[in-house]
Structure 1
Amino acid sequence: MTEQPSRRLQALRVASRFVGAGLLDQVVIATANAANTLLGGILLSKSQFGALALALSVGYFSMYLNRAIVGDVLLALASRYDGDHRARLIRNGLTTALCSGLVTTLIFVAIWLLWPHSGKIDLHELIWLAPFMLPIMLHDTARCDYLADRRPEKALGIDLVWFGTQAVAIVAMVLTGNSSPGGLLAAWGIGATAGATVYVLREGHLPWAGNPKAWLAETRHLSGWFTATAVVAQVQVLSISFLVAGKLSKIDLGNLRFVQTVQLQPVQNLVAAIQGLLVPRASRNAADAAKPGAEGQAAAATLRRQTRQLAIAFAILGAVMVAAVWPLVSWILTETGKFAEAAPLALPIALQGAVYLLQVPFTAAMRGMHRARMLFVQYVVFAAVSLTGLSVGANYGLQGAAWGLLTGSTAGLICMMVLYAYALKWVGPPPEPAPATTRLDAAQNA
């Protein structure tokens, strides 16, 4: 009688460690990423900070595009397999990330050579990221490998290496009085290089040992749509930077990015952490739901119940976050002379974060069900409404632009919920064929 409760308690402890390591891992990597923007806002002039924000936007665009091609596919697909099949996916995925990094480096050098080094949209700081895009993409792929294999503690280990190395580089830069956008970008890349190196040495995966063609052939049903979705999403992010910098100013872009980093980026990092934990589980449940009989019905019910319960929990969390964070951030910005004019952005950005939280369970379920085409449709709607709202709102200043972005996020949430409800029609075991006698009677009656 006591054996079953003991097993349940042990399983609960394992699950707690799994979730705890996953969330802590995301806190660490999020801090490493956010350090660029936060320290840039503190250490640099507003003009330099605007140039840093533009370079980071392009760098993040490239990293997240590679994640769509490789990392997101590993989370949704490799989590279903073990043994040689999974090892082949990891090997081919790493080599694909290696190729992405090399191509991105060449593109960044070309942009630096050809892009005008003056005007509102200045990308000359991008050259500092060029040498590091390869290790940045390898490290990001390594994290997704560990998360897909349900080993978040390993991802936490290499992320701590990234964070620690980056921190040492930043401290050295500050102590020597050489604070600059290029220095912050280089410190970020040096941290990624250290983390990727530890992964390669620990796991023994040679990044050049795989086959990118085999990867694309095996994963095209997901990677194609995931990539298209990432292109839309990241073009939307880039367009925000270019629209704000071009239609308003680099200083306005710096104000927007600083508030987003303080207020919205922690929410986005939490979303990424939860997605990394939920998508592999949702993928397995969706695969099991296709099995005939009671096992398939139970897996389908589990997927629906998990999505419903998480939606309720995140709705409550979002409401609490808006009530607590909005007045706090607004007060802090008002008290700081440098970003006091950005205080009115606190409310629309807080509401945008709540919308992102509520969308988490629906997105995780859709990725687990491999509804990549529907995710693409949702992002197109989200991006179109966001950019339209931003463009119209910018006519009324930076605050109007922020409310325009909230309009796009809300439209994206509504679209995601509708598509999720539609996708549920295909979740569950296939209907059992009717007995032969029944089919014969039906044919005679017809």
Structure 2
Amino acid sequence: MTNQTSRRAQALRAASRFVGAGLLDQVVIATANAANTLLGGVLLAKEQFGALALALSVGYFSMYLNRAIVGDVLLALASRYDGDHRVRLVRNGLTTALCSGLVTTVIFVGIWLVWPHNGKIDLHELIWLTPFMIPIMLHDTARCDYLADRRPEKALSIDLVWAGTQGIAILFMVLIGHSTPGGLLAAWGIGATAGATVYVLREGHLPWGGNPKAWLAETRHLSGWFTATAVVAQVQVLSISFLVAGKLSKIDLGNLRFVQTVQLQPVQNLVAAIQGLLVPRASRNAATAAKPGAEGLEAAAALRRQTRQLAIAFAVLGMLMVIIVWPLVSWLLTRTGKFSEAAPLALPIALQGAIYLLQVPFTAAMRGMHRARMLFVQYVVFATISLTGLSIGANYGLHGAAWGLLTGSTAGLIVMMTLYFHALKLVGPPPESPATPRLDTAKST
């Protein structure tokens, strides 16, 4: 009994270290990403801040599109393998990310050359990201490699390199008294370059040593739908920036992005951290659930139990967030001269964050079950209703636009839960498995 208790205690300590490293890793990388927006809001004039927000929107669009092609697939697929198969997947994924970075670099230069450098939608600051898109893609892929391999402490280490290097670059810019949108963007890219370099030197995975064709051939059942989903999701995010800047103004876009960064981005970062921890585990359970016998039934029950328990926990966390964060952010914004007119945005954005939290366990389970096509359907509904709500709400100002975005998030949650319960019917051992154990497990869950 003593030995069994000791093993359980050791397992709990190991699990706590794993979760703690994963959450801390997301805090660090989120800080690196949020620093551009937060410091831009403080250091730059409102017109300059709006231009920074537009450039960042395009940069994030490209990075998250690459994550769909490579990073999300590593989380859902590489976590099922060990040995040479896994090493080959990682190398092929890194080379695919390298190719994504090269294509993005060419596109950014083209946009900078042909896009008008004036007007409401101004992308001239995008040129500052051009030299850094390759290391940004590689670093993001490296993080997903570590998370898929259940080594979040390694992901944390390269993210600390990113954040630390970026912080030094920003500090230097502030000390010389020359704060610009381009400087903030370049500091972000320099940090990514440092983090990606440490990964390559440590792991010995040369970015050009893989085969993108082999990657696409092996992962197309996931990467195709994940990419389509990411395109819809990121077009939705990018369209928000363009619609707000076009229908309202760059100043309104700056107000919206600042409140979202303060209030919604921490939630999105927590969501990303939890997804990185849950998807590999859900994927292993879903794979095991396909086996006949007691092992498959137990894994299917574990997947259901994990989703149910986390849904309850995140629902409570979401309610607490609205109750506490909404009045606090609203009060703080009213005390600032620069963003006081954005205070009414605090409530709809707080509610949107609560919905994102509640959706986490369902999204993780769907990714683990490899229901990529269903995720695509959910994002199409979410994006369509969000942009429609935004467009209609913008007729009543920025406040109306924020409530319009909330309608899309609500619809997305409803669709996600509906698809999840449908997907559960497909989880478990094949039909030829004994029927009685399946009924017993269903009663227990």
Normalising by structure 1, report the TM-score: 0.97
Shift of 1:126: 0.1
The separation in 1 between residues aligned to 2:21 and 2:128, in whole angstroms, is 32
Once the two structures are superposed, residues 170-219 of structure 1 have per-residue CA deviations (whole angstroms, 9 ceiling, x without a partner) of 00000001100000000000000000000000000000000000000000
- Secondary structure of the structure 2 residue equivalent to 1:321: helix
User: Partner residue of 2:101?
Assistant: 101
| Counterpart position of 2:335 | 335
| Residue 432 of structure 1, CA deviation | 2.2
1:245 aligns with 2:245: yes
The answer to whether 1:77 aligns with 2:80 is no
Three-state SS of the structure 1 residue aligned to 2:425 is helix
**Partner in structure 2 of residue 55 of structure 1:** 55
Equivalent position SS for 1:426:
coil
Question: How far apart in 2 are the matches of 1:222 and 1:281?
Answer: 17
- 1:371 partner amino acid: R
5 Å-filtered alignment, 1:33-432, equals: 33-432=33-432
Q: Which amino acid aligns with 1:73?
A: V
What corresponds to 1:443 in structure 2?
Answer: none
1:221-268 CA deviation, whole Å, 9 max, x = no partner?
000000000000000000000000000000000000000000000000
SS of equivalent to 1:129: helix
1:267-289 deviation line (CA, Å, top 9, x unaligned): 00000000000000000000000
Letter in 1 for 2:335: E
> CA distance change for structure 1 residues 5 and 50 in 2, over 3 Å: closer, same or farther?
same
TM-superposed CA distance for 1:431, in Å, is 2.3
TM superposition shift of 1:434: 8.5
How many Å separate the matches in 2 of 1:248 and 1:169? 33
Q: Which amino acid aligns with 2:337?
A: G
Once residues 431 and 239 of structure 2 are traced to their aligned partners in structure 1, the CA distance between those partners, rounded to angstroms, is: 46
| 1:330-379 residue CA offsets vs partner (Å, 9 max, x unmatched) | 00000000000000000000000000000000000000000000000000
2:293 and 2:434 in contact (8 A); partners too: no
Question: 2:292, 2:430 within 8 Å by CA — same for their partners in 1?
Answer: yes
Is the 2:79–2:280 contact (alpha carbons within 8 Å) kept by the matching residues of 1?
yes
* 2-structure distance, mates of 1:309, 1:427: 18
Query: Are the structure 2 counterparts of residues 265 and 433 from structure 1 closer, same or farther at C-alpha, using a change threshold of 3 Å?
Result: closer
Q: Distance in 1 between matches of 2:387 and 2:431?
A: 44
Q: Secondary structure of 1:336's partner? A: coil
Looking at structure 2, the residues matched to 131 and 103 of structure 1 have their Cα atoms a distance apart, in angstroms, of 12
Offset at residue 410 of structure 1 (A): 0.3
Provide the C-alpha distance between the structure 2 equivalents of 1:224 and 1:68, rounded to a whole number of angstroms.
9
Equivalent residue letter for 2:176 = T
Give, in whole Å, the separation in 2 of the partners of 1:160 and 1:306: 30
CA distance in structure 1 between the partners assigned to 2:259 and 2:310 by the alignment: 27
The one-letter amino acid paired with 1:253 is L
Q: Secondary structure of 2:268's match?
A: helix
Q: Structure 2 counterpart of 1:79, which letter?
A: S
Cα distance in 1 for residues equivalent to 2:426 and 2:83: 29
Which structure 1 residue ranges, 5 or more long, are not aligned? 436-446
Structure 1 residues 115-167: Cα deviation after superposition (integer angstroms, max 9, x where no partner): 00010000000000000000000000000000000000000000000000000
CA distance in 2, matches of 1:123, 1:87: 39
Work out whether 1:9 is the aligned partner of 2:15: no
Work out the CA distance in 1 between the residues paired with 2:32 and 2:210. Answer: 29
Unaligned runs of 5+ in 2: 436-445
Q: How many residues align?
A: 435
Distance 1:178 1:2, change over 3 A: same
Report deviation, 1:305: 0.3
In structure 2, what is the Cα distance between the partners aligned to 1:434 and 1:203? 45
Q: CA deviation at 1:433?
A: 6.4
Distance in structure 1 (CA, Å) of the matches to 2:315 and 2:165: 37
Question: Is the alpha carbon distance of 1:282 and 1:52 closer, same or farther for their aligned partners in structure 2, counting shifts above 3 Å?
Answer: same
Counterpart residue type for residue 150 of structure 1: R
Instruction: Please say if residues 291 and 429 of structure 2, whose CA atoms lie closer than 8 Å, have aligned partners that are also in contact.
Output: yes
**Pairwise mapping of residues 8-27 of structure 1 onto structure 2 (< 5 A)?**
8-27=8-27
Q: Deviations over 1:36-66 (max 9, x none)?
A: 0000000000000000000000000000000
2:95/2:212 contact within 8 Å kept: yes
CA RMSD of aligned residues (A): 0.8
* Runs of 4+ with >3 A deviation: none
**Distance in 1 separating the partners of 2:277 and 2:58:** 27
Is the 8 Å Cα contact of residues 292 and 433 (structure 2) preserved in structure 1?
no
Amino acid at match of 2:296: G
What amino acid is aligned across from residue 319 of structure 1 in structure 2? M
Scaled by the length of structure 2, the TM-score of the pair is 0.97
Instruction: Give the secondary structure class of the aligned counterpart of 1:423.
Output: helix
Distance 1:109 1:388 in 2: 31
Distance 1:205 1:431 in 2: 42
Paired with 1:198 and 1:431, the residues of 2 have a C-alpha distance of: 48
Q: Which amino acid aligns with 1:258?
A: F
Give the match's secondary structure for 1:281.
helix
